[in-house]
Amino acid sequence: MDKQTEFVLRTIEERDIRFVRLWFTDVLGMLKSVAIAPAELEGAFEEGIGFDGSAVQGFARVSESDMIARPDSSTFQVLPWRGETLGVARMFCDIQLPDGSPSYADPRYVLKRTLEKAANMGFTFYTHPEIEFYLFKQKFKSGFRPVPVDDVGYFDHAPHGGGQDFRRTAITMLESMGISVEFSHHEGGPGQQEIDLRYADALTTADNIMTFRLVVKEVALEQGLQASFMPKPFEEYPGSGMHTHMSLFEGDRNAFYEAGKELQLSNVGRSFIAGLLRYAPEITAVTNQWVNSYKRLAGGHEAPSYVCWGSNNRSALVRVPMYKPHKGNSARVEYRALDSACNPYLAFAMLLSAGLKGIEEDLPLPPGAEDDVWSLSPGERKAMGLEPLPTSLNRAIQAMERSELAAETLGEHVFDFFLRNKRAEWDEYARIVTEYERKKYLPVL
């Protein structure tokens, strides 16, 4: 038994933890959970917990349903909202087949496999997400417009504002679970909040995002509010994205930094961006997997709609932030299309895989776009060679269907299930879409 496992078992006994929740996600990024008694935990570490994989979205067919959830002791944390007495803890799990091999359907394994490829190339992948969401005064009611918790805007400090009180409570909970928060503030829409997590390796970040979404919803419920990570809940206000900063490190050295180069950006960083641009259409199917996602991407408010990059341009898909241009370890690229409702494991796997492909193939970086892409005429965008992102989930699915990169990164099982599920979702939407939505968001079905 390793030291971390011993620490977990000792902590559970010392803190009187009565339930241990084992977490994992399905292919669509929905959090799953099973609670076990502390007495069963040592056995779970050794043998895992069996469950019916055919009952989980995208995991297995009925004829091959037996699966095992094996807890990762490094992810152990006590859930602060459950109280100090009769406590509850959680751990993320790796999903395995009965023979002990990794499950082909586990999104966490998809990311681990891609991180291993990066490691074989000498890289460690770090990510830093800026997570946006809306707070509403009450639960959604069908046919009624949700009411935001406040009516202020970007960086506004509202006296007695429900948003800032909410953020303080949520951040306190996150940090008590070992999830470091860098910034928090009010975003551009009424009731819209942003909380930015500190840089961490991509697997830890993905685990933290799943925890973050649950913490935010738990705190909202405690305060009589409702939190929503829906990409575009209002037509006239900004959508909720998850702009993600990324960097590759070779040991302690940031591989994206090279002093004296334009933007201090190394050839590795340039090829990484070129890979993101080359494979942007199929990436979008995963980073923006919902029909509603494309209402955000087509809705303006600094949401990217065209495949381009820039150094100081928030209308670009990929941005090279210049906050600290001479601090090598701060060199990074920002991908701006992600929703805060995506599956972070699959999204990070696709982004990393595309960037690594750019490095492997030494793809050239096209000229940057420093103008507001939204303000350009169609002719100007065409002259610059700017291709649009997919205009709908249907278009993203078509790009993904043709993509060898997506099939290789996700694996055959996840790739096939994801496409089937998204195709069914699109077909249902296309059947009931209103004429107004069709004209505004879907110029081509």
Q: What is the pLDDT of residue 326?
A: 65
Q: What is the pLDDT of residue 242?
A: 97
| DSSP helix/strand/coil, 59 | coil
Contacts of 272 (CB under 8 A, 6+ apart): 248, 256, 333, 355, 356, 358, 359
Burial 203-213 (b: 16+ CB within 10 A, else e): bbbbbbbbbbb
Q: What is the pTM of this model?
A: 0.94
Place of tokens 């972070």: 344
d(CA 356, CA 248): 10
d(CA 99, CA 101): 6
Long-range (24+ apart) CB contacts under 8 A made by 37-44 are 38/12, 38/13, 41/8, 41/9, 41/12, 41/71, 42/9, 44/69, 44/70, 44/71
Determine contact, residues 212/179, Cβ cutoff 8 Å.
Answer: yes
d(CA 279, CA 289): 16
d(CA 101, CA 92): 17
Computed from CA positions of residues 166, 185, 181, 115, in that sequence, does the dihedral angle turn out positive or negative? Answer: positive
Computed from CA positions of residues 102, 105, 106, 110, in that sequence, does the dihedral angle turn out positive or negative? Answer: positive
Q: What is the pLDDT of residue 55?
A: 78
* 405, two tokens: 């990169």
Q: What is the pLDDT of residue 442?
A: 57
* 410, two tokens: 């996700």
* 112, two tokens: 């681990």
Q: Rounded to a whole number, what is the largest CA-CA distance in the chain?
A: 68
Q: What is the pLDDT of residue 444?
A: 45
Return averaged pLDDT per consecutive 10 residues of the chain, 445 residues in all.
92 93 95 94 93 79 75 95 85 94 94 98 98 90 85 76 83 95 92 96 98 96 94 93 97 94 94 98 97 88 88 87 73 95 98 98 91 82 88 94 97 95 93 75 52
Determine contact, residues 166/225, Cβ cutoff 8 Å.
Answer: yes
| DSSP helix/strand/coil, 183 | strand
Determine contact, residues 205/128, Cβ cutoff 8 Å.
Answer: yes
DSSP 389: P
Question: Helix axis angle, 280-287 relative to 344-360, nearest 10°?
Answer: 170
Determine contact, residues 24/92, Cβ cutoff 8 Å.
Answer: yes
* 369, two tokens: 């776009």
| DSSP helix/strand/coil, 407 | helix
The H or E element spanning position 131 is strand 124-136
